[in-house]
Structure 1
Amino acid sequence: MSLNVESQHREEEAGKSGFGARYALMLIVLLWASQLTGLVGLISGNAQSAIAIHFQTTKIAWFSQIGLLGGVFATPFVVKAAAMYGKKRVMVAITVLGLVGDLIAALATNYETLLVGRGIAGFYSASVPLVYALTRDVFPRRLVGPASGFLGGGVGLVALGGPFLSGWLLDDHGFRAALWFLVAGTGLALVLLLAFVPESPVREERTRMDWAGGVLLGGGLTVIVYGIGEASGWGWTSGRTLGCTAGGIVAVLAFLWVESRVAHPMFPISLLGRRRVWTTFLATGLVLGAVYGGGVVTNLLTLMPNIPGVSGGLGWTATKAAWVAAPGSILIIGAAVATGTLARRVDSRLLLGTGGALVALGFALTSQFHHTVGQFIAIGVFSAVGMGMVVSMIPVMIIESVEPEEQALANGAQGMAQGVVQGLLMQVAFVILARDGTVLKGTEFYGDDGYTNGFLLSAGVVTVAALLVLLIPKGKRLDEVEAGQAA
């Protein structure tokens, strides 16, 4: 009883004084850990043009895609291990693995070795679901919503500072400097996690790892994404493309069969079968997958050279692109923090749907108006506000949908859904771009019509996601869920 009283007192004091120094420091550390994957994606996206030209490859899509595949495959095992052995402990382990992969990539002398390093480093992306689960466990109840919103809005901080960092690295020092920064960033995350983040006390019973279920789920989804990724080269109706897709689907169906029969499943069917859960996964996975897919198109458009009749890129430097994106990045941060606070009083479904509608509008307008700085800044208002609302609501909606002991598994499942959608849409976007593309000296360049159609693809998928929010049933409000067990 005394411990409960003390916990409540500490929670009340935290609410009166804001986050306080201790929680503020923890939030900053978790922010770095959660947004490092986004920063890696941003720097990698900006570097892919230089890397494609340096290694003279038409397979540059795999520079971003290979890490995504690693993360999708690893996620089932990571979140299950975290639930049993501790979220911080598992985060430290995969951060070390990510550091090894970053080192391999930075030292690579050929494109194949570079991809191996990025694939291993991609395992680190499975740590993102654990960050949000830790937040629910170690922050006081009244700070869980604002903290989750701030962490989600961290994408705005990445979007604000990341392009300037990327521009400095790439414009002044080349893509090798960017790869070495990834090594330093992952190393910093490891040190901060060890020094300042407490372990979560929330645990599942330790049981045997469901290796069969994990391999079927992670492997099946990975094979599907891989098959779609190679479809432009193999042909969409080729035996290899259809074989990979069909094999992956069969593996996922087999996963559902196995999970219904094993004593300790990787992902309980009861969790995945709840309407509030699966509809949340579907809507959020589609919207964020489309957002990041559209981001790849934006990076290529702004940084690829402008070559009449060959390339419809704008030919900006990374630094110029950073300055153009800066106002929108600030709006993302502000919208995310405000939306995270509103979630305590306003239905999170309404906030997510509104954010998705604004993002879809932004992509649709960008498809037609993407040639000048003024157009990017003006249209970016819609996209940025919507993006801030979306990224802050996704962790909140999952918190509202599951129990504390299910949090890591639920975040992992949502992350996998998002990863698969992102991987598929990225590949479809590259196929659309390539229809209006030209290969010159081993490098593929894209025309303006390809960029237009790429943005329209993202606009359409986000619109569908916003409409799917209507299928999500009402759940617990943020102030009603269990949170702050470690506080």
Structure 2
Amino acid sequence: MPDAPHPPLDPAPHTAAHSRPIILTLAFAGTTAAIMQTLVTPLLADLPVLLHTTPANSAWVITATLLVAAVCVPVVGRLGDLLGKRRMLLACSVPLFAGSVICALSSSIVPMIVGRGLQGMGMGVVPLGIALLRDVVPKEQLSPSIALVSASMGIGGGLGLPLSAAIAQYANWRVLFWGSAALAAVIAALIWFLIPDVPPGARGQRFDVPGALGLGAGLVCLLLAVSKGADWGWSSGTTLGLFAASAVLLLAWGSWEIRTTDPLIDLRTTARPRVLLTNIASVFVGFAMYAGMLVMPQLLQFPEATGYGLGQSMLAAGLWMAPGGLMMMVVSPLGGKLTNARGPKLTLLSGALVIAAGYALSLALMGSAWGIMLALMVINSGVGLAYGAMPALIMGSVALSETAVANGFNTLMRSLGTSVGAAVMGVVLAQLTTGTGARTFTSETGFRTGLVIGCAVALLSAAIAAAIPAVRQPTPGLRAAPAGAGPERSTAGA
């Protein structure tokens, strides 16, 4: 896609006033992309009828988006470093729009899966946006703006459910996708007119095609096994074969990446303790976030006759959960200020501990909708802090030529955490059941066990964050850079 005729930026970043439209545009783009991931949640029970298919086939409407996003996010990040972040942001808006239109026109399962896969390609806007902030935002605004754009993934997920539930309940389901197409068009226009053209940091390097294919194949096998293992059976030949194939493919990919000149992802950089531990913590934070997103709606919607369900409709449950998404929006800038004052490591540690506190609160207050809303507000406040700190830690440890792909890999780690969290929570809730006769459903013990697991995983992520090594204070105005990275502006303290 040819780039728009915007002049390249001067090396100096924009002023605070000029940066504000850029920050808001990138946050809006990330929120919209995240909303598209949860868009079909209210329709899941109706999809087999709407698309004339089986429940097993309709589940691919969710799985396709997950798989395509996992494969495309690191690839799009690398292309952003090579070709320019603005150009790739515009490129990501195209499949967001096209996928939404295809879904809106679909009456069968195959075009719906194709459209949902195209929507998954648009998830690359989040790491691209975070990396672009490093080039254009003044130092004093950088940490809060990174926190807001990074948290847009959680904000979109939290706000998308009640929004899509309301539209699905009171309008034709196709309105969901026509609305997302309109949002994608607005995003493309805002990027075209408001986002500046920044010279690519890795200009002149080649794109690692074998690395992209190897990583994509390994991730597809891994995520297919994780997301469909419960349906196929965890001990089935298909599931075990996919796990084995993913191990072989990812090991071969790692061997190639270490030996090639211009790798898709520099594994030597990702192996540095500061980057490695941040990515591992990201997996567990993603797990902890999704555990609540899976348990809380079911508690809210379970019949009151069970003795622990709260009997809410899908729309009402979404509205009770909406304040949690809003809390991420409120807390993210505060997390950026904490990062500026004390460094991203403390912000990540604080976020993980707040998530754990939210789960502890949910165990005490799960008997009321108000209690669940309050617990979700605490959990999502912690997610907002943690999600904002991770990119600051990553970008404080990689060269300018690797910012987009490094953030893409970190986004992938969060997504991997949510996938594993969904699989583990699904097993727990399916195994710990109660009921009479032929009807069985998740027991109160099952829900409490899920909340305890969420709390434990959050504490584990806090322990990993505490182990992230600190860095020495850089020279004023410079970021502590890896060898060979060159002088760069600081993203945060230790």
Residue 225 of structure 2 corresponds to residue 227 of structure 1:
yes
Classify the secondary structure of the residue corresponding to 2:340: coil
Q: How many residues align?
A: 467
Distance 1:172 1:184 in 2: 19
Which deviations, in whole Å up to 9, do the C-alpha atoms of 1:105-135 show, x marking residues without a partner?
2222133432232122111112211010011
The 3 A distance-change label for structure 1 pair 221 and 432 is: same
Contact 2:86 2:191 in 1 (8 A): yes
Deviation at 1:146, TM superposition (A): 2.0
Which deviations, in whole Å up to 9, do the C-alpha atoms of 1:61-106 show, x marking residues without a partner?
5433321110111123211211111111112112212222222222
- Residue identity opposite 1:352 in structure 2: L
The 3 A distance-change label for structure 1 pair 444 and 27 is: farther
Comparing 286-295 with 31-40, greater Cα deviation is found at: 286-295
* Residue in structure 1 matching 2:137, options 136, 139, 164: 139
Which deviations, in whole Å up to 9, do the C-alpha atoms of 1:115-165 show, x marking residues without a partner?
232122111112211010011111122221121123234457546754553
Distance 1:251 1:326 in 2: 40
Comparing 412-421 with 426-435, greater Cα deviation is found at: 426-435
Contact 1:260 1:269 in 2 (8 A): yes
Query: Which residue number corresponds to residue 399 of structure 1?
Result: 395
* Residue in structure 2 matching 1:257, options 246, 255, 258: 255
Query: Which residue number corresponds to residue 88 of structure 2?
Result: 90
Query: Which residue number corresponds to residue 413 of structure 2?
Result: 417
Contact 1:153 1:337 in 2 (8 A): no
Query: Which residue number corresponds to residue 33 of structure 2?
Result: 37
Query: Which residue number corresponds to residue 358 of structure 1?
Result: 354
Comparing 149-158 with 209-218, greater Cα deviation is found at: 149-158
Distance 1:65 1:299 in 2: 20
Residue 95 of structure 2 corresponds to residue 101 of structure 1:
no
The 3 A distance-change label for structure 1 pair 132 and 247 is: same
The 3 A distance-change label for structure 1 pair 475 and 65 is: farther
Superposed counterparts of 1:14-29, under 5 Å: 14=15, 19-20=16-17, 22-29=18-25
- Residue identity opposite 2:414 in structure 1: Q
Residue 316 of structure 2 corresponds to residue 320 of structure 1:
yes
The 3 A distance-change label for structure 1 pair 130 and 103 is: same
Distance 1:317 1:183 in 2: 27
The 3 A distance-change label for structure 1 pair 301 and 59 is: farther
- Residue identity opposite 1:306 in structure 2: P
Distance 1:29 1:464 in 2: 34
Comparing 458-467 with 328-337, greater Cα deviation is found at: 328-337
Classify the secondary structure of the residue corresponding to 1:345: helix
Contact 1:31 1:154 in 2 (8 A): yes
Residue 123 of structure 2 corresponds to residue 125 of structure 1:
yes
The 3 A distance-change label for structure 1 pair 182 and 427 is: farther
Distance 2:111 2:92 in 1: 20
- Residue identity opposite 1:464 in structure 2: L
Query: Which residue number corresponds to residue 333 of structure 1?
Result: 329
Q: Over the residues paired in the alignment, what is the CA RMSD in angstroms?
A: 3.1
- Residue identity opposite 1:91 in structure 2: L
Contact 1:202 1:404 in 2 (8 A): no
The 3 A distance-change label for structure 1 pair 394 and 184 is: same
Contact 2:80 2:200 in 1 (8 A): no
Distance 1:235 1:459 in 2: 27
Classify the secondary structure of the residue corresponding to 1:316: coil
- Residue identity opposite 1:282 in structure 2: I
Classify the secondary structure of the residue corresponding to 1:401: coil
Comparing 202-211 with 272-281, greater Cα deviation is found at: 202-211
Contact 1:401 1:475 in 2 (8 A): no
Deviation at 1:455, TM superposition (A): 3.0
The 3 A distance-change label for structure 1 pair 476 and 130 is: farther
Distance 2:395 2:34 in 1: 21
Unaligned 5+ segments in structure 2 are 1-9, 480-487
Comparing 165-174 with 53-62, greater Cα deviation is found at: 53-62
Residue 446 of structure 2 corresponds to residue 465 of structure 1:
no
Query: Which residue number corresponds to residue 238 of structure 1?
Result: 236
Contact 2:41 2:161 in 1 (8 A): no
The 3 A distance-change label for structure 1 pair 35 and 253 is: same
Deviation at 1:185, TM superposition (A): 1.8
- Residue identity opposite 1:454 in structure 2: G
Contact 2:50 2:107 in 1 (8 A): no
* Residue in structure 2 matching 1:385, options 381, 385, 392: 381
- Residue identity opposite 2:88 in structure 1: V
Query: Which residue number corresponds to residue 375 of structure 1?
Result: 371
Classify the secondary structure of the residue corresponding to 2:39: helix
Contact 2:33 2:122 in 1 (8 A): yes
Which deviations, in whole Å up to 9, do the C-alpha atoms of 1:432-478 show, x marking residues without a partner?
33335799xxx997554443333333323222111111221113669
Identity percentage of aligned residues: 25
Contact 2:35 2:159 in 1 (8 A): no
Query: Which residue number corresponds to residue 434 of structure 1?
Result: 430
The 3 A distance-change label for structure 1 pair 79 and 98 is: same
What is the TM-score when the length of structure 2 is the normalising length? 0.85
Distance 1:70 1:392 in 2: 24
Deviation at 1:307, TM superposition (A): 8.2
Residue 471 of structure 2 corresponds to residue 475 of structure 1:
yes
The 3 A distance-change label for structure 1 pair 358 and 402 is: same
Contact 2:44 2:58 in 1 (8 A): yes
Contact 2:167 2:173 in 1 (8 A): yes
- Residue identity opposite 2:280 in structure 1: L
- Residue identity opposite 1:393 in structure 2: A
Comparing 124-133 with 228-237, greater Cα deviation is found at: 228-237
The 3 A distance-change label for structure 1 pair 301 and 102 is: farther
* Residue in structure 1 matching 2:167, options 144, 169, 190: 169
Distance 1:438 1:102 in 2: 40
Contact 2:214 2:249 in 1 (8 A): yes
Distance 1:138 1:444 in 2: 55
Contact 2:289 2:379 in 1 (8 A): no
Unaligned 5+ segments in structure 1 are 1-5
Query: Which residue number corresponds to residue 291 of structure 1?
Result: 289
* Residue in structure 2 matching 1:113, options 100, 104, 111: 111
The 3 A distance-change label for structure 1 pair 157 and 7 is: same
- Residue identity opposite 1:117 in structure 2: G
Deviation at 1:172, TM superposition (A): 1.0
The 3 A distance-change label for structure 1 pair 179 and 305 is: farther
